[in-house]
A and B are shown apart, each in its own frame.
Chain A
Amino acid sequence: MDILNPSKGKCGAEAAAQPEPARLDLETVRERLREKRGNELWRSLDDLAGTPEFQDFLHREFPRFASEAPEEMTKTDGVSRRRFLQLTSASLALAGLTGCTKQPNEAIIPYVKQPEYIVPGRPLFFATTLTHGGYARGVLAESHMGRPTKIEGNPDHPASLGATDVFDQAAVLTLYDPERSQSIVHNGRIGTWGAFVGEAGARLRALEALGGEGVRILTGTITSPTMAAQLQDLLARFPNARWHQWEPAGSHHGRAAAQAAFGQPLETRYDFGAARVVLALDSDVLTRGPGNVRYQRDFARTRRVRKDNLQMSRLYAVESVPTNTGTLADHRLPLPAPEVEVFALALAQALGVVSGGGAGAGDVLADARAKRWLPVIAADLKANAGAALVVADEYASPATQVLVHAINQALGNTGRTVFHTAPVEVIPANGADQVESMRQLVADMNAGRVELLLMLGGVNPLYTAPADLGFTQALQKVDLRVHHGLYEDETSEYCHWHIPAAHELESWGDARSFDGTVSLMQPLIDPLYSGRTAIEILAVLFANRADATSYEVVRDHWKTLLVGDFEAAWKKALHDGLIADIPATQLPPAGASMAGGAAQAAASAMVRSLQQVRQHPGMVTLRLRPDPMVGDGSLAPNPWLQELPKPMTKLTWDNALTVGPAMAERLKLVHEDMAEVTWNGRKVKAAVWVLPGQAEGTAELTLGYGRRRAGRATGLGFDAYPLRTTQALWNLPGAEIRPLGERYSFASTQNHHALESGAEEIPLAGNEAERRELIRTGTLEELRRHPDFIQEEREKPAPDETLYPPVEYKGHAWGMAIDLNVCTGCSSCMIACQAENNIPVVGKEQVLRGREMHWIRVDRYYSGDMDDPRIHNQPVPCMQCENAPCEVVCPVAATSHSDEGLNDMVYNRCVGTRYCSNNCPYKVRRFNFLRYSDRDTPVLALLQNPDVTVRMRGVMEKCTYCVQRIEQAKIESKVENRPIPANRLQTACQQACPTEAIVFGDINDPRWEVTKWKADPLNYGLLEELNTRPRTTYLAKISNPNPALEAEHGDH
């Protein structure tokens, strides 16, 4: 598959644009190597490395490499570990061609000076930081001989605690993405840094006299203290310059609500660990937003039921569109989007937060069930006042969020489960309201008041700006337009200059996480594509530090703040990846007293809007939300994220207009119909996905698709931005949806063929899953009354029910247990596995044929009423059956059992009969139907994990329990002659899982957590009755329903 190949046309063009064809750049190198394969590739890369052009090229692109780095730098941050040519020495471990008997010649390229901390063949881990929407998450980056190959969570970082979300995992692929912009572009031709600094600098000097009149800087949300300082200085020197922020998927309403409630744009964060009862109002708080990883971890800990701990928190979800959070809810109530906000109002009334309470509470509610639920929930919240938590959707209307703030305050949750701090982001002088800020900017541009516009950090307003502002036209009026980003995009096309950005793994920098913690960013590798950081650009342009590196800027910034022995503190900070316990870095906790009457005002505002809404029943509210995988669209070019099934729809490579079954019927729409959405005269075409559990009167279309200029992502899915205006960013009441009579085909990884095979497939699948007891469920009550009820349901055949003599596993016996009770379906495990195990991407067309390659998948089942179904998530890796059906049928013994009970898969022995896959009841085996692994793009070879074979066409592959990690741990223990420390060895999925839903280890050894889990009465195996004796088992999904609502529906 050439899914990751840059289009050759483009490269050709750029090569042609080279001033002297004799000189090389990465493109040409790639061109030369394009037809090479595997080992051969490395050889030729080495040969090439000898040529004078290449040396010359290195001098230009990687000056630090060619001339040794200053000793001081080498010591402190080990620049030399990131030298380019070392990458080629990866040949000593790089997985390449399989299956040939005669080895081609290879070269070994040792260091010239070997850094003392590098042991060739062993990875190093560096603490660094990745940001999403400006917010930081501390991570550890695994580096093999200078090649970052994998991201893990940083256990010491409060936003991670060792876990990651899908975006963290995907970062390494973006780093190497050959489609990243690779050279400065000036009016469509290759430009040079010198020329850019010349032109922009000249312009600035001219404007400096006018105090920077006409200078505008547009960035995303910025939390970096260093950049904040830079911008401050800058605005001090250029008082008339303006800095604008635009984060398309930022928490605009959150800020507005805080402003309304507290008079300042405070940050709100939660402590799920302290909450006994949680009410989520249309909010996917557990898997969205900057704090999600931490929130999941905390929440999961309140839900982990074990025989020795029969306590768990209770979660209510009132939502219009099913969310991951909703799948965990003990009670889930689907309501139309506007009605959810009304529910907040009703609750406020019921709790006496606003008037209209008492007996009349709930009258505002239209839905009968909501009426019944309201008092119960209110009572439950009251009963747990102080240990309760009401969470509003960060995209919900400010009014709703104000009410929720008020409710939490009334319940005394504030300060216990809800916390307010000063804003994490840096607020520009012109206010926190980014929408307003954009309006100003456009107004200025239209008025011709803008001469120089710097768009830093990959902002892409031409794609993301509110549609009613007319940003595109306005932009043309700016004399000098500069765009800085990882990719050439819609915006860069309209700019005079495009400056390639350095990836965060190539950059020095800092940022704050959701709780304000300052996290440091250090590069794992020199910029592959000569990218530059925003910090550098600001320094060079505005601080006249022509040769400034972001390293120096960041370091200098902290020199002033890190008290005591700076070097020591700095080293520690770099080592930990964060700057802790230094007052200067803490965010002042805000005394969050609500402005009087704010709640009442919000309430009446909502009542007003309510009247309009209720006027015409049957009206549709369209929700616009960031896509669960590609966010606001900036991640669209990342193939891992594109192919990662979206939790609810299991859809890949597309977004969809989701509607509930009932509404679909009403609007005469079926799955995969094309429809036209109209709102305020604005139109968008999109294909329909009928999503069980989505409330009547609510449709959702995610942002981030329909990119017009995004390389391989161009044209995927449907662009929702044209509907998005400054009046309504998130919820569009009064939208019309009209069938177009055209069809579309979605590539989904579950029940692909809902139509082709009869639209009934999805409910049928759900009910079959229930009938086959794939997901065993129960309630806390049952469990308390009868701890063994799961064990008694099990149909595990007794050991003597087989003719075969039992196989003894002495020594280690690897096994895994998965706690369905806390799995949110966030899919971090899937993408972590993909990164760890060199799993290829196959593309939409192949997914359509049902050939996706993920080794672990998250199965999602709906059962019951499709308008209000029970929704379950079930991660399914290889079960590593002791009586593996796959092994018996393999004619060449390509899959067999290890002494430790692993179901080994030997790629280089496999001939590809696919019999094993047919005979696998869990269908966890994956086959390389075509040559999926991209070996044509040398830079992508750098991404491969050298400890895992890259599979060739025609061989079977599957989850190995990360056998490379197991073997590494065993070897270390043998070399050091000590046992493997319990619970230290983790699989990739386990390590990434935010909810600690997966444990792995030696089930022969009671010290390991997994052994305890398997001994728990909730433990059961999938399809045990087949006597496959799976080593992977599950803990049943236990819910904690409110007795007062039991009648509503059975055990969830």
Chain B
Amino acid sequence: MATIDPAPGTLPKPFKPPVVAPGHTPGTVTDKISSVVLRRTPKWWYIGFGVSFLILMVFLVSVSWLLLKGIGVWGVNQPVGWGFAIVNFVWWIGIGHAGTLISAILLLLRQEWRTSINRFAEAMTLFAVACAGMYPILHLGRPWLAYWLFPYPNTMGMWPQFRSPLIWDVFAVSTYATVSALFWYVGLIPDLATLRDRSRKRVAKVIYGFFAMGWRGSAAHWHNYETAYLLLAGLATPLVVSVHTVVSFDFAIGIVPGWHATIFPPYFVAGAIYAGFAMVLTLAIPLRAVFGLQDFITMRHLQNMGKVMLATGLIVVYGYTMEFFFAWYSGNHLERFTFLNRITGPYRYHWFALIFCNAVAPQLLWFRRFRTSPFWLFVISIIVSVGMWLERFVIVITSLHRDFLPSSWGMYKGTMWDWGTYIGTIGLFLSLLFLFIRFLPMISIFEMRTIVPGGQQGGEYTDSPGEQA
């Protein structure tokens, strides 16, 4: 992240556009962003939400069938005991990471350009985690007993088995979900107050007011608030790193060749950030166009995110390389066979596709021409998302399908219900996202105020009328 811009205050160089277009004041920022929420619902929103909701229904149908018949409606088998469910789980969780990263780590690193993207990045985190969180439950043979994974006193006198990475998952993911939610909500409070004061409708005032908790921007409050926000960021940072580390343990702790690797934690975390930023771009690029937020989500943001992707992408590629190197260097026949099987075995096409998506395509980002073209960034970000899904597929399936005893080798293929569940969660994700951009400010208003002229850095004062719709 060394590539990212210098300390705030220095004049942006010509090729590096500012984080906020000139001419904005706290007032205009406030009005512009809150108006997105407060004005009448645009027709396209209904369309967008409707479509996402339909996809969500696909999810409901698939899950109902799953619960009715049993896990057997999926493609999982012996020896491939884990399939789409775990692949999707890791994929979604990974996507989630960018949000926390942007809002927490970049905050600690004083990267002010984060301000205009952190809010919906965090929302994205929450929704991604919501999607991810369902898979570990759905993939159980007896999902209705999922609560047995939580430690609680019961009539059986039984407790969870704390040596299992799955229990670590339970703790990590639930903590992650909770902390992200808190972080997000705390960040929202002042903006909820803003909406409370801006909205005209009584109902809206009451609802926003209820959640604003009577925030009134007292200096003393701001002081505690800032402290809390910083502390949360400080807690979320190690947390986000731990979460994907733990997810990687699900595999690294196993003895399956192709899973049992010490390099997993770092390269899973990198992969997560990689996937996450890809998703942020995938969402940010259309959003800024639709809502004309180019002023706030500027080329500078897109470029920085492109750079982060390039950097993390390279780390991931390094991870792949090392896996193969270790396999060869360890001299362990089983390891060698597994990785040879990845390239030459029945799933070689998945592997080549993965290499193209995650290693080859992103190299375009070396060139500013692509870094600064929303279109290309969008395309690349999509490719990377696909690539990251393939990565998990390759890790989970190809390692399992030919492990220790050749007699037990098998193949795995997702069924229509696997696909239904996967696509369905995308529907859930989008539906939540649409609701979010409709009813909450997708950019942190109060933080934007601090970075516009007339904000904290002072600057000329422009009077603007009280309320405008």
Query: Which residues of A are in contact with B by a Cβ distance under 8 Å?
Result: 99, 101, 750-753, 756-758, 761, 764-766, 768-769, 771-772, 774, 846, 849-852, 857, 859-861, 874, 876, 885, 888-893, 896, 909-915, 917-919, 921-923, 925-931, 952-956, 1022-1023, 1026
Contact = CB atoms under 8 A, between A and B. Distances in A.
Given A914-B141, A917-B78, 14 more contacts: A753-B409, A850-B78, A851-B72, A859-B407, A860-B407, A861-B407, A885-B254, A889-B253, A889-B254, A892-B161, A909-B158, A917-B79, A930-B71, A931-B70
A758 B346 contact: yes
Question: Which 5 residue pairs across A and B have the least CB separation, nearest first?
Answer: A912-B141, A954-B141, A929-B72, A765-B406, A914-B81
Given A851-B78, A911-B142, A891 B149 contact: yes
Interface stretch (B31-39, B164-172, B192-200): B164-172
B40 interface: no
A757 B141 contact: no
A141 B77 CA distance: 35
Contact of A893 (B71, B78, B159, B409): B159
A942 B155 CA distance: 32
Contacts of B82: 914-915, 918
Interface in B437-453: none
Interface string B2-46: 000000000000000000000000000000000000000000000
B90 to A, nearest CB: 14
Contacts of A99: 142, 145
Interface in B240-294: 250, 253-256
B81 to A, nearest CB: 4
A716 B190 CA distance: 71
Contacts of A930: 69-72
Interface string B165-209: 111001000000000000000000000000000000000000000
17 contacts: A753-B411, A850-B78, A852-B78, A860-B407, A885-B254, A885-B255, A888-B163, A891-B166, A893-B159, A911-B146, A912-B140, A912-B142, A914-B76, A918-B256, A919-B254, A930-B70, A930-B72
Instruction: Decide if the interface of chain A is mainly helix, strand, loop or mixed.
Output: loop
Interface string B390-421: 00000000001001111111110000000000
A752 B334 CA distance: 21
B164 A954 contact: no
A570 B254 CA distance: 62
B148 A911 contact: yes
A635 B384 CA distance: 56
A772 B403 CA distance: 11
Given A917-B78, A931-B70, A956-B141, A890 B409 contact: no
Interface in B133-169: 139-142, 145-146, 148-149, 155-156, 158-161, 163-167
B324 interface: no
B345 interface: yes
Nearest to B142: A954
Contacts of A768: 337, 406
Given A99-B145, A910-B141, A926-B78, A915 B164 contact: yes
A954 B161 CA distance: 19
A928 B69 CA distance: 11
Contacts of A758: 345-346
Contacts of A891: 149, 160-161, 164, 166-167, 170
A992 B249 CA distance: 43
Interface of B: 69-72, 75-82, 139-142, 145-146, 148-149, 155-156, 158-161, 163-167, 170, 250, 253-256, 333-334, 337, 345-346, 400, 403-411
B256 A764 contact: no
A929 B70 contact: yes
B346 A757 contact: yes
B410 A850 contact: yes
Contacts of A849: 72, 75, 77
Nearest to B255: A885
Contacts of A911: 140-142, 145-146, 148-149
Contacts of A952: 142
A774 B333 CA distance: 13
A953 B71 CA distance: 9
A696 B75 CA distance: 38
B160 A892 contact: yes
A409 B168 CA distance: 74
B71 A954 contact: yes
A902 to B, nearest CB: 17
Contact of B333 (A101, A753, A772, A852): A772
Given A861-B406, A888-B164, A929 B77 contact: yes
B70 A851 contact: no
B162 to A, nearest CB: 9
Nearest to B164: A891
A931 B141 CA distance: 11
Contact of A750 (B70, B158, B256, B407): B407
B139 A929 contact: no
Interface centre among B78, B165, B166, B333, by most chain A C-beta atoms within 10 angstroms, is B78
Contacts of B70: 928-931, 953-954
B139 A893 contact: no
Contacts of B403: 921, 923
Contacts of A914: 76, 81-82, 139, 141
Interface centre among A757, A911, A926, A955, by most chain B C-beta atoms within 10 angstroms, is A911
A888 B254 CA distance: 9
Given A911-B141, A911-B145, A928-B141, A859 B164 contact: no
A583 to B, nearest CB: 52
Contacts of A915: 81-82, 164, 166, 250, 254
Contacts of A1022: 405
A101 B253 CA distance: 34
B346 A859 contact: no
B140 A876 contact: no
Nearest to B399: A918
A929 to B, nearest CB: 3
Contacts of B142: 99, 910-912, 952-955
Contact of B256 (A756, A852, A919): A919
Contacts of A893: 158-161
Contacts of A766: 406
A706 to B, nearest CB: 28
Interface centre among B81, B139, B146, B407, by most chain A C-beta atoms within 10 angstroms, is B407
Contacts of A909: 148, 156, 158
Contacts of B408: 750, 922-923
B407 A876 contact: yes
Interface centre among A857, A885, A918, A953, by most chain B C-beta atoms within 10 angstroms, is A918
B400 A918 contact: yes
Contacts of B405: 769, 774, 859, 876, 921-923, 1022-1023
A953 B69 CA distance: 9
B345 A757 contact: yes
B406 A846 contact: no
Contact of B71 (A752, A859, A912): A912
Contacts of B155: 101
Contact of A913 (B75, B140, B345): B140
Nearest to B412: A850
Contacts of A928: 70, 141
A910 B77 CA distance: 17
Nearest to B147: A911
Contacts of A850: 77-80, 410-411
A756 B411 contact: yes
Given A752-B411, A911-B141, A926-B78, A769 B406 contact: yes
A270 B75 CA distance: 50
Contacts of B71: 912, 929-930, 954
Given A910-B142, A956-B141, A927 B164 contact: no
Interface centre among A756, A921, A925, A931, by most chain B C-beta atoms within 10 angstroms, is A921
A448 B328 CA distance: 80
A771 B333 contact: yes
